[in-house]
Amino acid sequence: MTEEHAQQPEQSPPHPYDALLEEHKLLLSNIGGIQHWCSQRDELGDPNFGELATRVAHLREQLVAHFDEEERDGYLSSALEVAPRFC
């Protein structure tokens, strides 16, 4: 059998929680970035509070969007179908 006719393994459909997990990874990465920035400022001195405010404001926007999506039957809608008691 040639490579052209070799069966390709079937790809499973994306899991309903993949988007949620990716979103959590992004949020944790951004939180880690703020923590790292703060620790560098502790070592180097002269904190730039304007830059910190910008970073925190960006994280806040991401958190608002994230929780808005969760609350309007977004990421967790399939989980709530299985376990509606968590509504």
24-83 tens-digit pLDDT: 999 999 999 999 988 887 777 777 788 889 999 999 999 999 888 877 766 667 666 776
pLDDT-derived band at 16 (thresholds 50, 70, 90) equals low
Predicted local confidence at residue 62, as pLDDT: 94
Per the structure, the complete domain to which residue 71 belongs is given by: 15-86
- Which amino acid type is present at position 7? Q
Report yes or no on 25 lying in a domain.
yes
Residue 26 to residues 9, 23, 29, 56, 62: CA-CA distances in angstroms?
29, 5, 5, 14, 9
d(CA 17, CA 76): 8
Predicted local confidence at residue 2, as pLDDT: 53
Report yes or no on 63 lying in a domain.
yes
How many domains are contained in the chain? 1
